[in-house]
Amino acid sequence: MAVGGLRLRLRLRLRLRLRLRLSRAFAAVLVLLCTVPALLLVGAGRAAAHAALVSTSPAQDAVTASAPKEVVLSFSEDVSVPSEAVRVLGPDGLRVDDRRPGHAGGDGRTARVALPGPLAEGTYVVSWRVVSADSHPVSGGFTFSFGRASSGAPAVPVEDAGGGAVGVLYDLGRYLAYTGFCLLVGGAAFAGWCRRAAVPGPLRRLVLAGWLMLLSATAALLVLRAPYESGGGLGAVFDLASVRETAGGRPAVALLLRLVLVVLLGVALRRAAARRVGTRTSRRGWSGSLLPGAAACGTAATWAAAEHASAGLQVPLAVPLDLLHLLAMAVWLGGLAALLVTLYRVADPLPELASAAARFSRLAQGAVVVLALTGAYQSWRQVGSWHALGGTGYGRLLLAKLGGVAVLLAAAGYSRRWTARLRAASAPVDGPAVPVAGAQREEGPERRRLRRSVAAEVGIGAVVLALTALLTTTEPGRTQEEFGTVAVAVPAPTVYLELPFDTGAAGGRGRGSVSVVMDPGRVGDNSVQAVVLTRGGAIAVVPELRIRMALPERGVGPLEVRLQRRGAAWQADDLRVPMAGRWTVTAVVRTSDIDEDTVTAEVDIPPYR
């Protein structure tokens, strides 16, 4: 018996040492990952957030006597230069640059492209798209002339930076990521700090839903990052060249790091929940509660290190304050959602519910103070003047957000009033009350009215969160006031075609459509992207897709579009349309060795001017 007991004690001691070593290793990995966002700030821009075009060479609308050898654009902060960052079109609408953009003289605040060969006299159009230090793409265009200006006003092919379907999906993913973070952190904070009893199932499911939402949204943002930066369509998701080009950038690294930290945050929360026993926390339990906090701070830092706070004035101060702002927002809004779930779905005794609501009320007041202080600083930093507050899009969005916060605070005042009445109506207890299985919720006027008030707070908070997500994608008012917004000419048209086909395969498996996008969709150089879709709208991988174009009225063509497969999409960057007119587009789709269909459509191609 003595030998058996000794073996058992040795075995338990070895297990305890192993768990302690694993906990220390987990903590070390977490600390290392949480320091990486600080490293992302190395080289962060010191000018205004959102890069602004400061000057160009040749200058906008200038008429030069000699042919320029290059086009150089200077910005207010460091920018990354994608492979199609700068495009120069000649008087005939054809590209004249060497298609190899980069930085001028190694200066990160510039974008440059060479103009090889002899240039014809006339007006040249420059369109550009770069990624600013705060992760947002910016674009614009201008013209200059060599020798003499061309007759007529050329249209500058300008795209809406961050717009289109990819931009909408990216903004939606950004909003869902914020929402998931609030539910995860706020729900965990409510369960850990405001409750004294065991965490019930509905609250666990709320935190799990927030974790899954944050994880999925971050993964989606990482996938969409390449087309978001390059300005391509959804088919660019499968463009390995674009993916490789954006993978090393600070925004993509921050997203990848966030993905890892979210996984570790889920593990840390699970470990902390497993160690919590009753109302007391052991020494080991403290490490289990600190690790989720460290992981939450690291996750919030990935936003601060790659968004507006990472570029502009006083970056070393702005980043930690932005981190505190995000954490306070998550504790407040996510805690409200957790309190609402508790009021609706948890059968807590009235004293325990009143105590949890009162503790959250105090926690929310502290979060509001932090939000007010950090928000005031960030507003001054991003807006800069009273004029910009009402005269810029960022300022007007900020005013809308402040109005929403004011309404939210008014609703919170009613909630605090009903919380006090709920606590007064509850009988005092000597210790924490644990819900009994199958117990019914204690209903009363105080609980019902508190539930309605908190539900209103959650609805208003969702609107405030949406305005916050919009603010992160909007050019700050200080930038607009200092550098102005680049004026551009009328955007060039883009051709969209949807060609339905049916190869005749059994069961309707041969039905689908070919989605074709031609940019800029006019005479001159164009790029073509094509995606084959199934009958249900999903992307289909087919063995062969051919597209040709003809202009029968002028006897031109057919011109073969030299498509190259890029993942599940097809792309051609060298389509040259020689003249305007009503073109016939023919697509040949082969879905198997024996199933094939040919479909046609007509499209109007406008002239260059």
**Mean pLDDT, range 38-52, rounded to an integer:** 47
Confidence at residue 524, expressed as pLDDT on a 0 to 100 scale? 78
The H or E element spanning position 74 is strand 70-75
CATH topology of domain 495-605: Immunoglobulin-like (2.60.40)
Confidence of residue 227 (pLDDT cuts 50, 70, 90): confident
What's the pLDDT at 286? 35
Residue 529 has pLDDT above 60, yes or no: yes
State the amino acid at position 536 in one-letter form.
G
Q: How far apart are CA 318 and CA 322, in angstroms?
A: 6
Which of 566, 584, 499 has the alpha carbon at shortest distance from 527? Answer: 566
Between CA 84 and CA 236 the distance in angstroms is 13
Structure token digits, residue 316: 């070393």
Lowest-pLDDT range, 178-192, 231-245, 521-535?
A: 231-245
Please report, for the chain, how many H helices and E strands are present, in that order. Answer: 12, 17
Q: pLDDT per residue over 466-522, tens digit each?
A: 888 888 777 777 766 665 544 444 444 578 888 888 877 776 677 888 888 888 787
Q: Quick one: average pLDDT of 374-392?
A: 82
Contact 548, 575 (CB under 8 A): no
**Model's pTM, two decimal places?**
0.66
Sheet strands (E) in 521-562: 524-534, 544-551, 556-561
Q: What is the pLDDT of residue 10?
A: 59
CA distance 394 to 45: 20
Q: Is 246 exposed, middle or buried (0-12, 13-18, 19+ CB in 10 A)?
A: buried
Q: Which two tokens stand for residue 222?
A: 């990482």
Q: In the predicted model, what is the mean pLDDT of residues 274-291?
A: 48
Per-residue pLDDT, averaged over 227-249, amounts to 72
DSSP string, 224-292: HHHHHHH---GGGGG-HHHHHHHHTSHHHHHHHHHHHHHHHHHHHHHHHHHH-BTTB--HHHHHHHHHH
Backbone angles phi, psi at 26, to 5 degrees: -60, -45
The topology (CATH level 3) of 53-146 is Immunoglobulin-like (2.60.40)
Q: For the chain, what is the largest distance between any 2 Cα atoms, rounded to a whole number of angstroms?
A: 104
Helix or strand run (H / E) with residue 566: strand 564-566
Closest alpha carbon to 140 in 123, 120, 160: 160
CA 527, distance to chain mean position in Å, is 26
282 vs 418, more confident: 418
Write out 285-334 in H/E/C secondary structure.
Answer: HHHHHHHHHHHHHHHHHHHHCCCHHHCCCCHHHHHHHHHHHHHHHHHHHH
Mean pLDDT of 4-26: 53
How high is the mean pLDDT of the chain? Answer: 77
Render pLDDT for 336-355 as a digit per residue (tens, 0 to 9). 999 999 888 887 777 888 88
| Contacts with 537 (C-beta within 8 Å, 6 or more apart), sequence order | none
**Mean pLDDT to the nearest integer, 274-283:** 47
**DSSP letter string over 340-388?**
HHHHHH----HHHHHHHHHHHHHHHHHHHHHHHHHHHHHHHHHH-SHHH
Lowest mean pLDDT: which of 61-65, 130-134, 427-431, 570-574?
427-431
Query: For the residues 236-245, what does the mean pLDDT come to?
Result: 71
Residue 59 confidence (pLDDT) above 50: yes
**Least confident stretch, 392-396, 412-416, 564-568:** 564-568
Residue-by-residue DSSP string for 389-448: HHHSHHHHHHHHHHHHHHHHHHHHHHHHHHHHHHHHHSPP-SSPPPPPTTPPP---HHHH
Neighbours of 348 (CB within 10 A): 23
Q: Which amino acid is at 458?
A: V
Q: Using only C-alpha atoms, what is the Rg of the chain?
A: 29
355 alpha carbon, distance to own chain's centre? 38
The single residue listed with the structure tokens 């040949």 is 588
Is the per-residue pLDDT at 71 higher than 50? yes
The pLDDT of residue 193 is above 90:
no
Q: How many CA atoms lie within 13 A of 217 on its CB side?
A: 20
Residue type at 564 in one-letter notation: Q
Within 8 A by CB and 6+ apart from 273, the residues are 199, 204
In the numeric block, the tokens 């606590």 are attached to 423
β-sheet bridge partners, residue 499 = 514
495-605 has the same fold as 53-146? yes
Q: Does pLDDT of 179 surpass 90?
A: yes
**pLDDT bucket at 27, cuts 50 / 70 / 90:** very low
Residue 571 has pLDDT above 60, yes or no: yes
Q: Where are the domains of the chain?
A: 53-146, 164-472, 495-605
Q: Cα(330)–Cα(182) distance, rounded to whole angstroms?
A: 4
| pLDDT reading at 31 higher than 50 | no
Q: Is 62 exposed, middle or buried (0-12, 13-18, 19+ CB in 10 A)?
A: middle
**Whole-angstrom distance, CA of residue 235 vs CA of residue 567:** 8
Q: Cα 370 vs. chain centroid, distance in angstroms?
A: 25
Q: Is 160 left (phi over 0), alpha (psi -120 to 50) or beta?
A: beta
Q: Residue 562 phi/psi, 5° resolution?
A: -80, 85
C-beta of residue 276 within 8 angstroms of C-beta of residue 62: no
More confident residue, 33 or 409: 409
